[in-house]
Structures are given as structure tokens and as C-alpha cells.
Amino acid sequence: MSSTPAVSLAQRKRQLVVDELTEAAFQLLTTQGFDAVTVDEIAATAGVSKRTFFRYFASKEDVVVQFLADLGTGIREGLAARPADERPSTALREAVRAPLAACGDHGDRPLRVVQLILRTPPLNARFLAHQAQWRDELTEELAGRVGLDARTDLYPRLAAGMALTAFSAVLERWSESDGTADPTALTEKAFAVLAPALDPA
């Protein structure tokens, strides 16, 4: 008998616990502030033990960091999915636009999480560390698209860095506006500025 259904059930249960812990953490952290919330409170709100929390997350920072990791994965996958003959400015704009638009389309929680990240020094530091990793991944992907060597040519790394700078600038403006600014419109404006540098003659 195949063990696949049991494994699948275990995975679904694991994801359910992760989702419950994440929801509890975001609810508490965004309403009470990062420093005021303890792991015990997150676990109690999710209806699990503190030991269960640490089975899935190393710290309360890690709960929020998963949100950042998902954003970065979306950018990398978005760029890889763009047509091969598309201009770099268009491909990068669309890769960045999708996760930003998703933030704006999913209600109030993504905004509060972004504000929490940008306003909490330890979380902002993790955000910057993630961006460094995303830049390396985007550099490799972009180098392959334009036929350049990521190790010796400056363009892929500079272009990836510009795209992520635009991503950060849009997040910051959206956060500062308390969600009234449109992330998609901000992304369009940002890449209109960057396009001449992103598209080689």
C-alpha cells in the first residue's frame, strides 16, 4: 500500500498549524507591536503549546520573515516566467509588480505586516538581508535572459539591484500612505524612471 496519502495528510496538518501560528502572530504583532508580543502569547492565541511553536519557527521574527521569503520567491519566479524576448525593463517591472499588487489586493493585513517590517529595526535588517539574496538570484536569472556572464558583466547585477530598489521604494511609499497609494501605479512610475537604464541600446 502506498504511503503517499498519509504523507499528504501529514503535510496538510503541518501547513494548517503553520497557518494558524502565522495568523496569530500577525494579528498580535500588528496590533500590539513587535516588542510587546511574546512567543507564549502567539502560541496561546493559536491554541498550541510553546513547544509546538518552536517546532515550526525558531523565533517570532521567523514568522514575519516567511512573509518576506514568499515575496522574494514571487519576484524570482515572475521573472523566470516572462517571455524570453521581452525587454528587461518590462520583464523586471512585471516580476516586481505581481507581488506588490498582491499585497494591495489582499486587504489590510499585508499593509500592517509591511509597516511592521519597515518600522521594526530587527525585522528591517532581516528584510535587507533577504533583498541581498534576492539580488543574487535575480542577477543570475537576468544574466541568462540577456546572454551575459553574471560573474564578469556589471549589467545583470546593476539591473537586479535597480529593480529591487524600485520594489523597496514602492513598499515604503505604500506603507507611508497607509494603503491609499496604489502599488501598481507606483510600480509603473518607478520603472518609467528606470527603463532607459534597464534597456541597453
What distance in Å separates the CA atoms of residue 37 and residue 41, rounded to the nearest whole number?
Answer: 7
Tens-place pLDDT, residues 77-108: 999 999 999 999 999 999 999 988 888 776 68
- Asked if the model's pLDDT at residue 54 lies above 50, the reply is yes
Residue ranges matching CATH 1.10.357.10 in the chain: 60-198
What the block records as the C-alpha cell of 188 is 509603473
- Asked if the model's pLDDT at residue 6 lies above 80, the reply is no
Instruction: Tell me the CATH number for domain 1-57.
Output: 1.10.10.60
pLDDT of residue 172: 94
Per the CATH hierarchy, to which homologous superfamily does domain 60-198 belong? Tetracycline Repressor, domain 2 (1.10.357.10)
What distance in Å separates the CA atoms of residue 151 and residue 5, rounded to the nearest whole number?
Answer: 44
What distance in Å separates the CA atoms of residue 119 and residue 99, rounded to the nearest whole number?
Answer: 20
Residue with the three cell numbers 539580488: 135
pLDDT of residue 201: 62
pTM of the model: 0.83
What distance in Å separates the CA atoms of residue 196 and residue 130, rounded to the nearest whole number?
Answer: 27
Residue ranges matching CATH 1.10.10.60 in the chain: 1-57
Neighbours of 65 (CB within 10 A): 19
What the block records as the C-alpha cell of 107 is 486587504
- Asked if the model's pLDDT at residue 123 lies above 70, the reply is yes
